[in-house]
Amino acid sequence: MPDLKRIKELLDNSDSLESKVENFEIYLICEALEKTKGVVTHAAEDLKVKRTTLIEKMRRYEINANNYRE
């Protein structure tokens, strides 16, 4: 289950709607990668997005799946 306190902190520290959406998206991606131990294919399945879409978002937000691997 998502850490609602952490989500609220991210959203409260954002200025615009765009920034809030980006922070929430980053949180969800990182949570999925943590859950799947950095396996991008499984994270994409959990998020119900195409693997290529997830990879594009990870590049945009500079999220490295290797940081979530054991």
Determine contact, residues 68/34, Cβ cutoff 8 Å: yes
pTM for the whole thing? 0.84
pLDDT (0 to 100) of residue 1: 43
pLDDT (0 to 100) of residue 3: 61
Question: In this predicted model, what pLDDT tens digit does every residue of 11-70 receive, in sequence order?
Answer: 777 788 888 888 889 989 999 999 999 999 999 999 999 999 999 999 999 999 999 998
Quick one: pLDDT band at residue 8, thresholds 50, 70, 90?
confident
| Token pair belonging to 39 | 């396996």
CB count, 10 Å around CB of 45?
A: 15
| Token pair belonging to 24 | 């929430």
pLDDT (0 to 100) of residue 58: 96
